Amino acid sequence: MTNNKLIDLINITKSFGDNIVLDDLNLYIRENEFLTLLGPSGCGKTTTLRIIGGFETPNTGKVIFQGKNITNLPPNQRQLNTVFQKYALFSHMTISDNIAFGLNIKKKSKAYIYDKIKYALKLVNLDGYDNRMPESLSGGQQQRIAIARAIVNEPKVLLLDEPLGALDLKLRQDMQYELIRLKNELGITFIYVTHDQEEALTMSDTIVVMNQGYIQQIGTPEDIYNEPQNAFVADFIGDSNIINATMIEDKLVSILGAKFPCVDVGFGKNKPVDVVIRPEDIDLVQPEEGTITGVVTSLIFKGVHYEMEVLANGHEWLVHSTDLSPVGSTVGIYVDPFDIQIMNKPESEDEEAVEIEE
């Protein structure tokens, strides 16, 4: 992945009536990056994608593409293509005609179009489907054709708006790997919108977590998962134990009245903080070996691991472990200092987190 800045969104604000959807959003996207906009419904991720694509115009701010201001340029004059959740294939056209649609509008030669169709079908592993009709294809195959139709136009950027949302779980997982392969083969920039955390973690070079029109955090999947910057990100990305705590001093935090060593510094003394501990980072040990002790109150077998809840010091701790501790047993809770993530408490409910650009 290069560091070349391809798209720059500068001070983007967008509202629909009295509803502010994006509030002074700043974001850049690099060439050949797989960037995912992730967040709950209504967070502004699809509006951001539509502004990049030219389907919406921001109230204020600029969209810069390769150094040029394209804020008011219509979609068909931008070097990008969009694949939506609803594939929007033309039901009365063959697969070939669907793929060739944009090329015909551009008045490309028949030989050029023929070569492009063959190339695109091979790329999406649907060789020989030229003369099939869309209704004869499965959902996953239709989605691949929608992607083929987009890539024959040789866009610099492919915008994907929840493109796997209509597929069943197995197909979605297959298509995730297909998209990663396609992105690597094509060498183009993918901007992907989803509310599915696992999808974002699996596919992305960079994840942008959004909530209430603000960017909450930007980082690699590893950064976002292991170093969430606030409670919203920690809660939205995977399962977490988020607990009120007090930073006693550097490298020592009081959680539910017990002192836990940690590695964080610079929070001050006796400062209220939020602590994030991932369920898989909690070790259930013999009671005398734990920092605190508790009782297992529930147990569910999840295939890869057991999911347990442990009531300790008045808090239900969520624990993922490959080792079974039966309901009713007394256990010790131990957490490695490196696995305790300390965060400042937000000053207001929708306080914007500091944005990090790597």
Whether 250 and 135 share a structural domain: no
Residue 83 lies in a domain: yes
Residue 195 lies in a domain: yes
Residue 245 lies in a domain: yes
Whether 173 and 256 share a structural domain: no
Whether 206 and 283 share a structural domain: no
pLDDT digits (tens, 9 = 90+) for 265-302: 999 999 999 999 999 999 999 999 999 999 999 999 99
Question: For residue 171, what is the domain's CATH number?
Answer: 3.40.50.300
Query: Residue 48 in 3-state DSSP?
Result: helix
Q: Report CA torsion sign: 317, 318, 321, 326.
A: positive
Averaged pLDDT for residues 181-197: 92
Residue 354 lies in a domain: no
Residue 353 lies in a domain: no
Among 118-132, 157-171, 324-338, name the most confident range: 324-338
pLDDT at residue number 348: 52
Whole-angstrom Cα distance, residue 340 to residue 25?
Answer: 31
Whether 49 and 147 share a structural domain: yes
Averaged pLDDT for residues 247-253: 98
Domain total in the chain? 2
- End of a domain among 226, 250, 270? 226
Whole-angstrom Cα distance, residue 22 to residue 73?
Answer: 20
Exposed (0-12), middle (13-18) or buried (19+): which is 37, by Cβ within 10 Å?
Answer: buried
Whether 1 has a pLDDT exceeding 60, the answer reads no
Within 8 A by CB and 6+ apart from 5, the residues are: 28, 29, 30, 31
The two three-digit tokens of residue 294, written as one number:
């508790």
- Is-contact 85 161, C-beta < 8 A? yes
Question: For residue 261, what is the domain's CATH number?
Answer: 2.40.50.140
Whether 17 and 78 share a structural domain: yes
Nearest residue to 53 (alpha-carbon basis) of 230, 200, 193:
193
307: DSSP letter: E
Residue 180 lies in a domain: yes
Residue 352 lies in a domain: no
Host domain of residue 302: 241-344
pLDDT digits (tens, 9 = 90+) for 23-64: 999 999 999 999 999 999 999 999 999 999 999 999 999 999
Whether 218 and 303 share a structural domain: no
Whether 257 and 213 share a structural domain: no
149 Ramachandran zone, left/alpha/beta (phi>0; psi -120 to 50): alpha
The two three-digit tokens of residue 239, written as one number:
């399962």
- End of a domain among 226, 253, 274? 226
pLDDT digits (tens, 9 = 90+) for 340-355: 999 988 765 554 443 3
- End of a domain among 192, 226, 260? 226
